[in-house]
Amino acid sequence: MTTRTVSSIVSFAHPFRLAGFQASQPAGDYRVDHDEEPIDVMSHTAWRRIASFIHLPAVGMRASVHQMVPIEAAELEAALNKDHQQS
């Protein structure tokens, strides 16, 4: 099956924490990848998200090791909304 990855950068103005993270993450810009698979919808193709990942540490932060951590897209959206309300 064909899949595609859609990448974006999300910005946090404050430290944040997502479920499954052992510690809070610093404020900054983070790359997020969403893996999608095609679905047929009335004679055209649409895409359904099947997985989301955030790259740690933040873009531009110094670290010798980067990791890609699976996340729930809805939880990320909630964390971003909470962060924007704090500003």
Query: What does the pLDDT read at residue 71?
Result: 95
Kindly report, residue by residue over 67-84, the tens digit of the pLDDT.
Answer: 889 999 999 999 999 999
Over its C-alpha atoms, the chain yields an Rg (Å, rounded) of: 15
Mean pLDDT of 53-60: 78
The pLDDT tens digits of the residues spanning 7-43 come to: 999 999 999 999 888 889 999 999 999 999 999 888 7
CA dist 39 and 46 (Å) reads: 5
Is the pTM of the predicted complex or chain greater than 0.85?
no
Helices (H) and strands (E) in the chain, counts: 1, 4
Query: CA torsion angle for 50, 65, 16, 55 (degrees, to 10)?
Result: -30
Q: For the sheet with 4-12, list strands across it.
A: 4-12, 28-41, 44-56, 67-71
